[in-house]
Amino acid sequence: MPIQFNRKYRRDLAFFAHWDQLDDALFDRVPRERLKAAQARLQGYIVLPGDPAYDSDRKLANPVFDAYPTVIIYCEVESDVAIALELARGQKLPFTVRSGGHCTAGFSAGAGALIDVSHLDDATVDVAQAIATVGTGCPFKKFDSVLAACGLHVPGGECEDVCIGGFMQGGGYGFTSVTYGMNCDNVIDFRMMLADGQIVTASETENADLWWAVRGGTGGNFGVLLTVRYRLVPLGAVFGWALIWPLQTEPDFENATDALMTLQSRYMLENLDPALNIQVSLCFQPGTTANLPSDTPLQPYLMVRGLYVGSASDGQAAIQPLCDLPGVILQWSKMDSFFTLNDELLNVPYSMPWFPPEVTSPPCEDKASRYVSRPLTPSEWRGLLDYFVSSPNTWSYFYMEFYGGAINAYRRDGNAFVHRHAAFNAVLDVFWLDEVDRPAAENFLLGWMDYMAPMWNGEIYQNYPRLDEPAYGARYWADAQAGLYAVKTKYDPSHAFTFAQEVRPPPLEGQTTAPATMPAGVKRALSEPIAYAQPPGA
């Protein structure tokens, strides 16, 4: 077939003709001919300011973040990532890597080159070996559907649009993590492209220092994650359930406080059945039953929901002490697939938080995370309830992701996800629709952070970062920080991967070597040369 009839060739010619019509000022940082040369090599495509899709393609999941990248490069295959990195390096452009665009601090976009890997989204399963190979841009809606068809499972994200890349590198908590561990705990190995375009495979026996660091060390620090291989477990139908307590009267608050104390005494840490996965929420809802009119006033509720990996009878027995408490309402319980329950636990009968149908664009959002390790007093629990219902709007959403089980049983030095002694991760999400309402929402979040100060253990879930956290290294990685910096120095010696909360050396005088949390084998790997993956056919 003559080249003039080749689909990619004709597509590229159309791009070039359009770019020739754009203002020359758009090509000050990257010359027009340099972009054309890159596009001719790409299987993916380049989007520029002035292109019809640019304004939508530059946006992230949270409209608070409003970056205007110089160039957006969509990668269809691994070699496209190398071309994108080469383009950024050659033009001395800062670059950002984006898979799902859900980073809560906006690190998924910047002002230079935006390397979008969302199209690297293949997901395949070797059923006989119970192993999945999945691309960094694969969203969990797709990945979970592939796994469900095979009757296999790995802990995954609760948000269906979140992609593998950022989720795994930050740890990865899901509705089965108490049973099966964090997402990163289930990684066999992964492929990563370094800043110079070379590819490495990292596992327990190959580039073990990188394997330790990436699993919890946070995306954007070491290289561009390409694919991950997961160890899977068989999983059929599981038991899901939803309990709710109103928060309208003084007796309601007493009942809710009692429920929180019962959760603490019977369902936290060593008292939590590893088959039981619990999330506790405070949220405004139209009511406790479905199909209420859309203009029904929202009221605050305590909501306790979860998933039991086992039979309905065993699951019901596990939650029966909660079902026997005063004021509780059982909204629903059922046996179903994880794929179905992962959605329904957050959206049935109403989403959390709930927005009326007329809100058709994503709201603006801010959030904060606080890990808690110690028991709270009744007055502290009650104070949380009292504070939440003072929200300036009905879209605030507080939740606690319970830890324990396989999460806390995993060796603390087994990877860079160090939060292995927490009872739960407490999170407050605030939302607003109009900029005029932002100060009240932000002040409410800051007030909550002040309230949590005496209770938290000083750590923050690195998948929920905040830009204004000055001690982020200690909060996200604790005493793994020095080891992470050593790994970064080895695999990214030119410091190409940089952003506001990248891995840096800890501000502790004299602490320049890998910490005790890094296993001896990983320390040895730091002194060994990088093992590069051979190219196909080599």
Indicate whether 457 belongs to any domain: no
Indicate whether 281 belongs to any domain: yes
Q: Report pLDDT digits (tens) over 120-133.
A: 999 999 999 999 99
Q: What number of residues does the chain have?
A: 538
pLDDT score, position 335? 98
pLDDT score, position 512? 45
Q: Do 132 and 181 sit in the same domain of this protein?
A: yes
Q: Do 419 and 320 sit in the same domain of this protein?
A: yes
Nearest to 168 by CA among 136, 194, 199, 201: 136
Q: Report pLDDT digits (tens) over 309-347.
A: 999 999 999 999 999 999 999 999 999 999 999 999 999
Place of tokens 């307590």: 245
Q: Are 296 and 290 in contact (CB under 8 A)?
A: no
Q: Do 180 and 316 sit in the same domain of this protein?
A: no
Quote the domain boundaries for residue 17: 3-116
- Mean pLDDT for each consecutive 10-residue tract of the chain (538 residues)? 73 94 94 97 96 95 94 98 97 95 91 96 98 98 96 95 96 98 98 98 97 97 98 98 98 98 95 96 97 93 98 98 98 97 96 91 96 98 98 98 97 95 98 97 98 98 95 94 95 96 77 61 93 67
The span from the CA of 322 to the CA of 302, in Å, is: 13
Cα→Cα distances 506→149, 177, 345, Å: 45, 29, 39
Helix (H, G, I), strand (E, B) or coil at 276: strand
Q: Do 409 and 262 sit in the same domain of this protein?
A: yes
Indicate whether 531 belongs to any domain: no
Q: Do 248 and 153 sit in the same domain of this protein?
A: no
Q: Do 230 and 246 sit in the same domain of this protein?
A: no
- Number of compact structural domains in the chain: 3
Indicate whether 465 belongs to any domain: no
Indicate whether 533 belongs to any domain: no
pLDDT score, position 4? 63
* Helix residue spans in 353-493 (DSSP H): 378-388, 405-409, 438-452, 472-477, 481-491
Of 116, 142, 164, the one marking the end of a domain is 116
Task: Quote the pTM value.
Answer: 0.96
Q: Do 221 and 308 sit in the same domain of this protein?
A: no
pLDDT score, position 7? 87
Q: Do 107 and 135 sit in the same domain of this protein?
A: no
Q: Do 174 and 262 sit in the same domain of this protein?
A: no
Q: What is the CATH number of the domain that holds 205?
A: 3.30.465.10
